Amino acid sequence: MRPDSEPERRAGVETEKVAEALVIRLAGQIDDLQADAVGARLDEVLEAGHIRIVFDLGEVLFMGSSGLGQIMRAYKAVKMKGGCVRIVNPQPLIAEVLGVTKLDRLLKVYPSLEEALQDLQ
């Protein structure tokens, strides 16, 4: 089994510093088989001490409870440092997952990066 063999199944984690925030762009299918790798990458990124995090979920095609768990781990780590986490741009199916699990109450969800950044000021 080669979970990473197909590009649409590979979960991506890219980061970009925008203004005061670190934008983390997740992509692909964040299923249970990808979640640990995504989590490890998030740990790496967050070690630098960023406290304003924006998750851009625009390219995420799938996310189950394992993927949500990794986002919650990141959320907790950032919160402990007194920071905040925003979600932007989720596709409708992903937005629905956030709604069903009521995580959209905890993590503010914005339709665009600009709106999230504005709110972070």
Site for other proteins in 15-54 (CB under 8 A): 31-33
Q: How far is the CB of 109 from other proteins (least distance, A)?
A: 14
Question: CA-based diameter of the chain, in Å?
Answer: 45
Measuring CA to CA, which residue among 76, 65, 77, 58 is closest to residue 30? 65
Using the rule CB under 8 A, is 68 a contact of other proteins?
yes
Site for other proteins in 81-100 (CB under 8 A): 93, 97, 100
Region binding other proteins by CB under 8 A among candidate stretches 19-27, 40-48, 52-60, 69-77: 69-77
Q: Are 87 and 107 in contact (CB under 8 A)?
A: yes
Q: Are 52 and 22 in contact (CB under 8 A)?
A: yes
Q: How far is the CB of 48 from other proteins (least distance, A)?
A: 22
Binding site for other proteins (CB under 8 A): 1, 3, 31-33, 62, 64-66, 68-70, 72-73, 75-76, 93, 97, 100-103, 105-106
